[in-house]
Homo-oligomer: A and B are copies of this chain.
Amino acid sequence: MAHRRAVTDATRILIKVGTSVVTQPDGTFALGRLGNLVEQIAELRKKSKEVIVVTSGAVGQGIQVLRRNTSKSADPTNTTFDPRACAAAGQSGMMALYEALFAQKSISCAQVLLTDDDFKSPTRRETLKGTLNGLLKLGIVPILNENDVISERKTPLRDESGAIFWDNDSLAALIATEISADLLLLLSDIEGLYNKRPDDPDARVIGLYRRKTEIIVGNKSRVGRGGIEAKIQAALSAAETGIAVVIASGYGRNTILDLMDGHNIGTLILKSTYIDEQEGPEVITQRTKAASAVLRALSSDERSKILVEMSTQIKNNTGKILEANKKDIETAEKYGTSASLIARLKLTPEKIQSLAVGILQIAQAVDPVGRIISANQLADGLLLTQETTPLGVLLVIFESRPDAVPQLAALAIKSANGLLLKGGKEAQHSNQILHQILGQAIVTATNGKLSSDVIGLIQSREDINVLLSFEKDINLVIPRGSNKLVRDIQNATKIPVLGHSEGICHIYVHSDADIQKSIRVITDAKLDYPAACNAVESLLLNKELIDDDRAFTILSALHAAKIELCATPEVLSYASSRGLTLRPLVLSFHHEYGEPFLTVSFTDDFDTAVRHINEFGSSHTESILTESVEVAKLFQNRIDSACVFHNASTRFADGFRFGLGAEVGISTNRIHARGPVGVEGLLSTKWKLTSTSPEGDVASDFTVGKKKWLHVPMNPAKL
């Protein structure tokens, strides 16, 4: 659910800026931050938002003023001035500065000083409300502050409704309620509410506060009467009246405008009934991580049993699944979703049957975990083996196809990894029911030994960014979707990402190529599925093909096959001289069409072709058409791409076609996994060293020569 809409849609906004935002540690005003505040408010006013500011800072500034006027040499840490005197001394300077800054933006502001009494009598409350509404109507920004100069309060004031007025946070909450603000921003020196102590390296800001979430309270703010407990109290009380509250840092230069643009900054607190009681991403991740440790300890048979049960349950619940899927289809149709997307969204009894069969096949495949990759007899009685192990927890972000849920779940169980799934909103009902059925299968098959938490379903899009920050808990991210999705995720996280952002595949036709073979392969590479990442985007023709017009034969055939050839000037004039009109190439060589378009250029020779591909390609898949095995070998060695083919269509670059079983994705990374990736891409390795020497084995025995290294490689198959 797009909870942040409560922020972006707000019209009347109350911004509370804490002392730590408004002043520097030395008590002087934080000019940069104040300037940013005023600039952001000016932008809000341009968008016709109404803005009220509750500010702190006068006391700190007053201390400065008094110190300056008493003794220049006074101990700068001396803060024994009367707080009321400080408030009096600081208030006018603060307002003067606010006014000077707002004046630069042609905005008027108005000072409103409040005391307890203003809230004690209903008449005075009404008057205050009227005044504020009047100011807002005139486009004036009211600047509110407690009149500390005459404040006598020693304990919180509690009115008949239970509302508390104690510090500027509670004052802000009270005013926000009073004037029916849509949004209350509490800006201070904390980034938001945390799941752990803020000094813990695993601490994360909670994006959406859920009542069940345990909040860990950090240290108090530097200056000011309030503190984090008071802030939470104030926030909760305002939220319960229906106001959206955000607790965020006031240090960001553009925080307010970013928040209004829907960015996931700080902690958002909404009225409890607005929040479904599902847990936040932090909690789900921790549970999946914990369950993944149990999964890792299961035997191969136990994991197979889960997969078999999953297959059975999917089949047995076909009706339920179709019912949920129908809801998604109906919603999609209502919103006029494209037919191709609906086709991907739609489940049928046949699709479900084939899903169930697919899971059974995965169950029956050889266990990829615990496979010995290498072994070495290091010394007498000292054997080293390197074995495959699960990575830990995977996060898969996918779009539309609900079939992905059981497929990915099966791969995760097979590879003994915990799995966090984030599907598209358009498939939410289908994803939910599938997730529920799979979870039940896990529990049933293991008699409750393994919790269904091992596969977590993340509902909210907002949670993705939170998840991407969990680099200690999530070991691999697999985005399955558009190039843009992959790129955005790569830029947003430190977690390794398995994916490919571009598929700019080339075919190079060598001078000795068989022309009919070439036409067949190029046509397939482009037209078999033009939107696929392994479709060819760029064709390089060796110039020797011009001599006997073989180049023209190729071009005409591709043109006749309805491939839109985007030609370099050289190719363009060659074709045109022979009566064939092609499109001019307007985009760069580094362009992925994803449509039946193909860049065509001539290349002087083999070396130029190789350089061109290594420069403009995306290291995905390239193919050479040649009758020379030697030239093909050279090409396959010198091209720096994940897949390099000879006389074969680029469309073969695919996990199933490569015989890898279910495909996890295609990677253009160089490390870990490259090209089409099967279940092996979900594994890491582990070194096991076992001593059978009667005394155990110690390194120093080898240093002093008491024991000798053997280092004999062993055949893993024979262990």
CA distance A696 to B688 in the complex (A): 46
User: A693 to chain B: which residues have CB within 8 Å?
Assistant: 647
Considering only residues 13-61 of chain A, those with a C-beta below 8 Å from chain B are 24, 28-36, 38-39, 42
Considering only residues 455-480 of chain A, those with a C-beta below 8 Å from chain B are 475-476
CA distance A523 to B699 in the complex (A): 10
Given A378-B658, A659-B376, are A670 and B391 neighbors across the interface (CB < 8 Å)? yes
User: A702 to chain B: which residues have CB within 8 Å?
Assistant: 657
- Measured CB to CB, the nearest residue on chain B to A68 is B106
Which of A253, A674, A686, A700 counts the most B-chain CB atoms under 10 A from its CB?
Answer: A686
CA distance A293 to B672 in the complex (A): 21
Query: Which of the candidate stretches A189-197, A217-225, A554-562, A637-645 sits at the interface with the other chain?
Result: A637-645
User: A449 to chain B: which residues have CB within 8 Å?
Assistant: none
**Contact pattern, A 691-704, Cβ under 8 Å of B = 1, otherwise 0:** 11101111110110
User: A653 to chain B: which residues have CB within 8 Å?
Assistant: 687
**Residue A357 CB within 8 A of the other chain:** no
**Residue A675 CB within 8 A of the other chain:** yes
- Measured CB to CB, the nearest residue on chain B to A493 is B494
User: Which of B104, B643, B674 is within 8 Å of A689, CB to CB?
Assistant: B643
CA distance A525 to B698 in the complex (A): 7
Chain B nearest Cβ from A632, distance in angstroms: 7
CA distance A297 to B614 in the complex (A): 13
Query: Which of the candidate stretches A128-136, A156-164, A427-435, A513-521 sits at the interface with the other chain?
Result: A513-521
**Residue A711 CB within 8 A of the other chain:** yes
Given A39-B30, A698-B520, are A688 and B636 neighbors across the interface (CB < 8 Å)? yes
Q: Is the CB of B672 within 8 A of A671?
A: yes
**Residue A651 CB within 8 A of the other chain:** yes
CA distance A35 to B695 in the complex (A): 71
**Residue A110 CB within 8 A of the other chain:** no
User: Which of B28, B524, B688, B713 is within 8 Å of A644, CB to CB?
Assistant: B688
**Residue A105 CB within 8 A of the other chain:** yes
Chain B nearest Cβ from A266, distance in angstroms: 19
User: Which of B35, B514, B657, B689 is within 8 Å of A378, CB to CB?
Assistant: B657
Q: Is the CB of A514 within 8 A of B696?
A: yes
CA distance A518 to B696 in the complex (A): 8
Q: Is the CB of A696 within 8 A of B659?
A: no
Considering only residues 558-614 of chain A, those with a C-beta below 8 Å from chain B are 614
Given A517-B695, A638-B297, are A690 and B391 neighbors across the interface (CB < 8 Å)? no
- Measured CB to CB, the nearest residue on chain B to A651 is B699
**Contact pattern, A 89-108, Cβ under 8 Å of B = 1, otherwise 0:** 00001000100110011100
**Residue A382 CB within 8 A of the other chain:** yes
Given A658-B384, A672-B672, A688-B644, are A101 and B695 neighbors across the interface (CB < 8 Å)? no
Chain B nearest Cβ from A358, distance in angstroms: 16
Q: Is the CB of A296 within 8 A of B97?
A: no
CA distance A614 to B637 in the complex (A): 43
User: A640 to chain B: which residues have CB within 8 Å?
Assistant: 293, 296, 389, 392
CA distance A685 to B713 in the complex (A): 22
User: Which of B106, B378, B658 is within 8 Å of A376, CB to CB?
Assistant: B658
User: A671 to chain B: which residues have CB within 8 Å?
Assistant: 391, 475-476, 496, 671-672, 684
**Residue A676 CB within 8 A of the other chain:** yes
CA distance A614 to B642 in the complex (A): 35
Which of A28, A296, A675, A697 counts the most B-chain CB atoms under 10 A from its CB?
Answer: A697
User: A669 to chain B: which residues have CB within 8 Å?
Assistant: 496
- Measured CB to CB, the nearest residue on chain B to A382 is B648
Considering only residues 102-131 of chain A, those with a C-beta below 8 Å from chain B are 104-106
User: A632 to chain B: which residues have CB within 8 Å?
Assistant: 690
Q: Is the CB of A674 within 8 A of B685?
A: yes
Q: Is the CB of B642 within 8 A of A101?
A: no
User: Which of B475, B636, B688, B699 is within 8 Å of A657, CB to CB?
Assistant: B699
Q: Is the CB of A32 within 8 A of B35?
A: yes
User: Which of B36, B370, B647, B672 is within 8 Å of A696, CB to CB?
Assistant: B647
A/B interface sample: 23 pairs, CB < 8 A: A28-B104, A31-B36, A35-B35, A293-B638, A296-B640, A378-B652, A378-B659, A496-B669, A518-B696, A520-B698, A521-B698, A528-B698, A528-B699, A528-B703, A636-B690, A644-B689, A645-B691, A647-B690, A648-B689, A653-B687, A657-B699, A659-B711, A675-B687
In addition to A293-B614, A520-B698, A671-B671, 9 A-B residue pairs with Cβ atoms within 8 Å of each other are: A28-B42, A253-B253, A296-B637, A297-B637, A389-B640, A643-B686, A643-B689, A648-B690, A648-B696
Nearest 5 pairs of A and B residues by beta carbon: A31-B35, A524-B698, A32-B36, A35-B35, A651-B699
